Structure 1
C-alpha cells in the first residue's frame, strides 16, 4: 500500500498533514509518536473510517484492531460468534473459528466463552483473530498492547511477530513506545503534530536518529537509549 499526500482536517484543525507513507507487502511499518500526534487518525483514514484528501493505492481489504479489546467486542456475543460474524459466506464457520483461535494461540474451548470470562490479553487475541477472519491485505494494530499489563504485552508482541512470519502479513503497527515498535517493525515512521518527521529502517532510526523529536522518544525509553549509544 502507498499513501500519498494524505490530509485529514476536522474543521479548521489539521490532524494529519500531507503524509506520504509506503507499507510494502509482507512488512511491518511501525508508526510512533506521542498522544495527539495524529497517528491514530492516519490509521482510521487508511481504514476508511474518517474522510481524507490525498490518495491510497494498493490494498483495499483493511482490518483494524483497537486499543481496548473489551470495547471492540460485543459483550453479549460469545467469542466464537464474534469471530464468525466477519467470516466470508460459504465457509465452515466452526472449523474456521477453531483455526483462527489456534492461529492466535487460544484453545478451541474459548469459542463458547464471553469476553468478560477472558483476560485482557486473551480478549486482544480474539480481536486479532476476528480481524484475520476477514482475510485482510493490511492489518492495522492501533496501540494494541498499551491497555495490557506489562507481563502480557510481550506475549502479544510475540504473537504479532509470529503472525507476520507465518502469514506474510502486511501491518501498520502503532504505538507511543519506540521500544515496542522496534521489536516488531521493519520500518519506523515517526509522527509529530500530524506530520512524518522521520522514516527509515528500524535499526537505523533507533541507532542513529536524525530528528530531535525521535531522539527525545529514544530518551524516554532508557533501556533502548542505552543500547543505541
Structure 2
C-alpha cells in the first residue's frame, strides 16, 4: 500500500542571479512498511526532491507536479537546522512529544541521543549530538513519512549501524505501516544493514532507477555500476 506518491515533480530554483531545474519530472511511490534509499551524486537533486515531499523548499525554489503526501517529518543533514537557538533541545523535543503522547526517553534512546544533554542549548552540543537529537525529533513526531538526510554522516561505524537499525524499525515497529526515505552516501553501510527495501537513484534531477534494492545494487547499467563502484569498491 502506497504512503506517498509524486508524479512529474519538477523543482526549479531562481535566486535572481541564476536559475536551474534541479528536479525534472520525477516519479516516486513510497510503500508503507518500507525503507527507501535515495542515491545520487552531489547536486543530483536529492535534497530538493526530499524537501519538496516535506514541504520545506527554500523561498528561491518552486515545485510543480502532483504530490500525495501524508504527515511528514524531515530530518535535515545538519541537525542544528531542526532547532531554535532560543530554547533548550529538551524543551523543543517535549513540545513535539507531548501533543502526540510519544515517548521522549524511547525516542532519544533509539536515536542514540544522550538524555543528559536535554537541558542544553543547540550550541552546547557537538555536531554528532545535535544530529541525533534531530533524529529523535523525527521519531517523536511519529509521521507516516519520515525523511532523513545523511543519518550516519557524523558518527562512527558502530553507532551508524545502530542508527540504521533504528530506521529499519521505524516503519515496522515504531509506526507500523509508515514509510522511510533516507538520503545517503554511506552506501556500503546501507547495503550491509539489510534494512533498505528499495533504491531510487537520481542523475541530473531525473530518476534513472527505482527498484528493489538488490536489483539496483546489482545493476549492470554503466552509470549506476560506476557510481556504486566508487562506494562499494568494485
Q: Deviations over 1:77-133 (max 9, x none)?
A: 3232121233463x67xx843343244344544432444554544332211121222
What is the correspondence of 1:9-20 to structure 2 with a 5 Å cutoff? 9-11=12-14, 12-20=19-27
Counterpart of 2:137 (choices 100, 106, 130) is 130
Distance 2:141 2:159 in 1: 25
TM-score of the superposed pair, with normalisation by structure 1: 0.83
Distance 2:55 2:216 in 1: 29
Q: Would you say the 8 A contact 2:35–2:168 is kept in 1?
A: no
Q: Which piece of structure 1 moves more, 142-151 or 185-194?
A: 142-151
Distance 1:27 1:65 in 2: 17
Distance 2:169 2:127 in 1: 20
Q: What is the number of equivalent residue pairs in this alignment?
A: 219
Which residue pairs with 2:40 in the alignment?
33
Which residue pairs with 2:221 in the alignment?
211
Q: Deviations over 1:195-224 (max 9, x none)?
A: 0111211111112x143221111210244x
Q: Deviations over 1:160-188 (max 9, x none)?
A: 22334422341111123432443342100
Q: Would you say the 8 A contact 2:52–2:63 is kept in 1?
A: yes
TM-score of the superposed pair, with normalisation by structure 2: 0.81
Q: Which runs of 5+ in 1 are unaligned?
A: none
Q: Which runs of 5+ in 2 are unaligned?
A: none
Distance 1:56 1:197 in 2: 19
Distance 2:211 2:155 in 1: 28
Which residue pairs with 2:181 in the alignment?
172
Counterpart of 1:53 (choices 64, 72, 92) is 64
Q: Would you say the 8 A contact 2:71–2:143 is kept in 1?
A: yes
Residue 49 of structure 1 deviates from its aligned partner by 1.8
What is the correspondence of 1:73-88 to structure 2 with a 5 Å cutoff? 73-87=83-97
Specify which structure has the higher proportion of strand.
Answer: 2
Q: Which piece of structure 1 moves more, 160-169 or 111-120?
A: 111-120
